[in-house]
Structure 1
């Protein structure tokens, strides 16, 4: 039902993790207690594997005091860790990256994609406004490049308002492609949590292309919330695309809102729930959606996902590693507080992408 461009939110009820997904019994695999410097919330991360070594770049929200308190952390940096098995991690003694300018207060949610021998890091830049009386612009999609994870060069920063950007790991027909999710909710009151539970139009996943990673255009919508039974308010990219014989496999997230949820975390109100899902794009034309899971892949249903976190009821997929035996390691942020691991067969993930 629509009313002057607004839509009534209908709660979705109970949702369950897919039966072919197994969550690691030792979760979480990384938390703030594992970090050798000030760390409060260690969650959304990028993971890749080269020469039998796993590397993780993770988001670390921290307090200047170093003490853990139930309020919004003071700042964010990125840390790096390595592993021989993708489960046990050795964290470097210092963070590797923190970015600030007159207009950017912090960057967060790192995704690392290796393209043509160089490592590109996409993340969200939180703008501050350029003067005390100038309001923030909203989130911007940023791209940095590095060869050594010590020196980072800014490649491009998008117009507001864009979040969850990630790059495809190779050029396709001579172009670079990027997934992102417009998010003007940080700029204007585009949805209401208080007024009879009506919202404006939901936030959907879009795709853009570029000849040089700087000039982006040809934007078009790709995955719509209305086509996802387990989302009612927004969706977005998750892990960098995985190239398969069937197409580009995407690990995505879908979000539903329910006014009955109450507090659910450190904030006074947190009524959202985040799930992981799957989608499939055409190999030669990544603007073409050819498969979309009609049920969630991973749902928040265990204590480290539903209790004691900064924002409970959150599963946010950020990385997928295909192993030689056809199993996929899926790394996800849990309750905006921990990094967790789940596994599934690649064939099962592909089969879950219903044709569209």
Structure 2
């Protein structure tokens, strides 16, 4: 098994109003020796914004903003700007987040050229009611129970409320174009899907109708092992290695006592990332310490960001939806372990 060191708590809530009730789920990007963390900050009433701090190296805090860098401005995000992930493509930073209006949670995008000022590009995932999604699946001959069994708010779905949209979140981009195309992952429960486009303007309603009609072929990972058997979702932007794209994601196991969120790892083909090469058949790490077992939501390790210093991979994660912790491990050891769990060698 891969040796993972739980380094402990990195950030906690403060007396500042915007983060007085919790900090969690940080996106991360390294620029030289400086690491930027863009984390979800929660204030009273469960309203979220994105806070920002910088680190010298992987963990030494050198600055922390006293106001959010991104906050609700539009109707589609009035209740929350949540769970940032960030990467750089060419000269542009792509910061994705979940926009929450109190009912709907949808993947959205903001871009920047300096990590200081961001321009919101709006929602970039499909905006369909569950009722319309169901009709589309039926028309395409897709097993609707596979998706509609994962209602995010059960009181809405039986009524087929048109205002309740299909949740689509955990969105983030690959840090470079793949075969000349922008590539991002997203999550329609219970799986992880992939989008390839020439430009953001391609994301039209017509595009999504065609895409969702072929949803099975646009799905790259499905729940497989016991620790992720209920559903999975994206974690941090993929990391390019000689052996493939390393994907750190989260897996969920639903139990009578509540859901258990673990960090997981998979390896995708460098040239065709829709092809999964390998996957750990055990959680990379899971809740075990007090700060992960008890909090706003118990039993949560939710990775959103990584940085690499030499061969050491640092993973930043939300701990029990209340604090930010980080873990470290050897990248080469993880890749070697993944190669022992290649898809073609599986017998399960």
Q: TM-score range by the shorter chain?
A: 0.7 to 0.9
Assess if the C-alpha contact under 8 Å between 1:42 and 1:61 holds in 2.
yes
Which of the numbers 345, 351, 354 marks the counterpart of 2:330? 345
Q: Match of 1:60?
A: 41
Q: Match of 1:22?
A: 5
Aligned-residue CA RMSD (Å): 1.8
Assess if the C-alpha contact under 8 Å between 2:301 and 2:320 holds in 1.
yes
Q: Which runs of 5+ in 1 are unaligned?
A: 1-17, 64-72, 129-135, 184-202, 262-270
- Equivalent positions of 1:130-141 (< 5 A) are 136=103, 138-141=104-107
- Equivalent positions of 1:104-253 (< 5 A) are 104-105=77-78, 106-128=80-102, 136=103, 138-157=104-123, 158-160=125-127, 161-183=167-189, 203-216=190-203, 218=211, 220-225=218-223, 227-253=224-250
Report how far residue 213 of structure 1 moved: 2.6
**1:276 aligned to 2:275?**
no
Pair 346,60 (structure 1): closer, same or farther in 2 beyond 3 Å: same
Report how far residue 36 of structure 1 moved: 8.3
Report how far residue 152 of structure 1 moved: 2.2
Structure 2 CA distance for aligned equivalents of residues 180 and 38 of structure 1: 27
Structure 2 CA distance for aligned equivalents of residues 249 and 97 of structure 1: 28
Assess if the C-alpha contact under 8 Å between 1:180 and 1:207 holds in 2.
yes
Report how far residue 34 of structure 1 moved: 8.0
Residue by residue over 1:213-267, the C-alpha shift from the partner in whole angstroms, topping out at 9 and shown as x without a partner, is: 3424555111111x223122110110100000000000011000111x2xxxxxx
User: Alignment length, in residue pairs?
Assistant: 288
Structure 1 CA distance for aligned equivalents of residues 27 and 46 of structure 2: 22
- Equivalent positions of 1:39-50 (< 5 A) are 39-50=20-31
Q: Match of 2:302?
A: 316
Assess if the C-alpha contact under 8 Å between 1:36 and 1:91 holds in 2.
no
Structure 2 CA distance for aligned equivalents of residues 236 and 38 of structure 1: 25
Residue by residue over 1:42-90, the C-alpha shift from the partner in whole angstroms, topping out at 9 and shown as x without a partner, is: 0101111112111111110111xxxxxxxxx331111111111322322
TM-score normalized with structure 2 length: 0.79
**1:85 aligned to 2:68?**
no
Which of the numbers 66, 72, 80 marks the counterpart of 1:99? 72
Report how far residue 346 of structure 1 moved: 0.5
Assess if the C-alpha contact under 8 Å between 2:18 and 2:43 holds in 1.
no
Residue by residue over 1:291-349, the C-alpha shift from the partner in whole angstroms, topping out at 9 and shown as x without a partner, is: 11100001100011012x1001000111121212x111111110001111111100122
**1:327 aligned to 2:312?**
yes
Report how far residue 103 of structure 1 moved: 3.4
